[in-house]
Amino acid sequence: MVGLRDGDRLDAKIVSLGDIKMHLKILEAGNARSTEATAAAGALARLTDNDAANCAAIVDAGGIELLVALVTNGAARGQEQAMWTLFHLADDAANKDAIREAGGIAPLVALARSGSAGGKQVAAAAALASLAVHNDANQTAIAAAGGIAPLVAILRRSGAAGGNAAGALTNLALKAANRTAIVEAGAIPPLVALLRSGEEKAVMALNNLACNRDACTAIAEAGAIPPIVALLKNGKALGQECAARALWNLAFKNAANKVAIVAAGAVDPLYALARAGGSLKAAAVGALKELKRHALAWALRHRKRRIYPLLLATGATIPPHAEDAYLRKVAAAGGFPAYEKAHRQAFDALAAKAFPCLPTDVTAHVASFAFHVGYY
């Protein structure tokens, strides 16, 4: 493949800028339903896909207002392409505000409600999802424009539309008031169905909704726990993390959910993720900390000895009837913190003899990173 020279790249930028101005001039002509306007919107959607420079050029040329007008009054295909262009532009934080200020949210919500079940609803849900990312004002504005109900309705559609609607609701559910409205709009059963179909965005929405204590019981009653546990085992990294966080939220101060989560087989995959490190570890350990008593009882029944130390480290209490030799040693030491401390002191004493020139803080770091102190 022959690479572009610097001059070629400059020529390409000039061509793109010229194309952008030409297409915006067509939109500015005012015939939003013309085939020319539709073609121009399609070209702008292509030019803005993963191209920040072209996005900036469109914004600088006043393109947001023209695109919002096309979404409002254009032909069906033109509306769809304009929405995809707004979707691309909304990657930029300042553009999210500019689209709202240009009146872009109301027509997007209208097309989410009444657009065709295919392309327009897919594009509308995607654009609303993008506008709501890390933008409190847009989250409020979308809900105020009546956006929650049509997004919940789109959840029931298969394919990209349902996934995009789940993404939008995930972002809207960051606000407590929106969480209540989303649950009241009936979002939980279709989100669970979407999750069962393999759409990982659904667990992100369920995770945020589970921050609402009243929603936790409804999520469990809708049958969400088994597919969330399945995602722990088979999902991609982000899906696994969101699944662990969802279980963490569902288990918080909810005894029935703790029992259901453990019964669904969550302990083994949570333990595996807790050994992965990073944000996966943090999410899995958080869930196990909520489940600690029930999880340890399950581990004892199934003789999962490798899991005992991690559960004890999260605060699980050793039951009086435990017969495992390791658990008896920990109990005799006065609990896991005391056992871990004694174990570390023994290691430090051995390290001091073996490596007398090393400072004690160095050997302590070695113990932390190379050995599972207190785990055996």
359: left (phi over 0), alpha (psi -120 to 50) or beta: beta
The mean pLDDT value for 225-247 works out to: 96
| % of the chain residues with pLDDT over 90 | 76
Of the listed ranges 140-144, 216-220, 248-252, 333-337, the least confidently predicted one is 333-337
DSSP letter, residue 92: S
Q: pLDDT value at position 101? A: 98
Query: Within 13 Å and on the Cβ side, how many CA atoms surround 163?
Result: 8
| Residue-level pLDDT at 98 | 98
Instruction: Please tell me the number of Cα atoms within 13 Å of 225 on its side-chain side.
Output: 22
Q: Which residue bears the tokens 């050793």?
A: 318
Per-residue pLDDT tens over the stretch 291-323: 999 999 999 999 999 999 999 999 999 998 888
Supply the DSSP string of 150-218, one letter for each residue. Answer: HHHHHHTS-THHHHHHHHHHHHHTTSHHHHHHHHHTT-HHHHHHHHHTT-THHHHHHHHHTTSHHHHHH
In this prediction, residue 10 has a pLDDT band, given cuts at 50, 70 and 90, of very low
CB 37 within 8 A of CB 78: yes
Amino acid at 177: A
DSSP run (H or E) holding 141:
helix 136-144
CB 140 within 8 A of CB 132: no
Q: How far apart are CA 215 and CA 261, in angstroms?
A: 16
Provide Rg for the chain, Cα atoms. 27
- Kindly provide the b/e burial profile for residues 55-87, where b requires at least 16 CB atoms within 10 angstroms of the residue's own CB: bebbbebebbbbbbbbbbebbebbbbbbbbbbb
Q: What is the pLDDT of residue 349?
A: 75
pTM of the predicted protein model: 0.87
The predicted pLDDT at position 343 comes to: 80
CA 283/CA 334 separation, integer angstroms: 28
State the pLDDT at residue 4.
Answer: 32
User: Rounded CA gap, 351 and 362, in Å?
Assistant: 10
What is the C-alpha separation between 121 and 108, in angstroms, rounded?
9
What is the structure's pLDDT at 112? 95
Contact 20, 58 (CB under 8 A): yes
- Highest mean pLDDT pick, 197-201, 211-215, 225-229, 275-279: 225-229
Task: Give the distance, in angstroms, between the CA of residue 345 and the centroid of all CA atoms in the same chain.
Answer: 42
> In the predicted model, what is the mean pLDDT of residues 58-76?
96
> Of 197-201, 301-305, 349-353, where does mean pLDDT reach its minimum?
349-353
Average pLDDT rounded to a whole number, residues 76-93? 96
Q: Is the pLDDT of residue 12 over 50?
A: no
Q: Is the pLDDT higher at 30 or at 140? A: 140
Helical residues (DSSP H) of 197-335, grouped into ranges: 201-209, 213-221, 225-234, 237-251, 255-263, 267-274, 278-301, 308-313, 325-332
DSSP annotation of 305 reads G
Look at the block and give the residue holding tokens 């051995």: 350
* pLDDT for residue 369: 57
User: How far apart, in whole angstroms, are the C-alpha atoms of residue 220 and residue 269?
Assistant: 19
Q: For residue 363, what pLDDT is reported?
A: 60
Half-sphere exposure of 101 (CA within 13 A, CB side): 7
Q: Provide the mean pLDDT of the chain.
A: 90
DSSP 26-53: HHHTS-TTSHHHHHHHHHHHHHHTT-HH
The fraction of the chain above a pLDDT of 70, given in percent, is 89
Structure confidence at residue 6 (pLDDT): 37
In the predicted model, is pLDDT for residue 123 greater than 50? yes
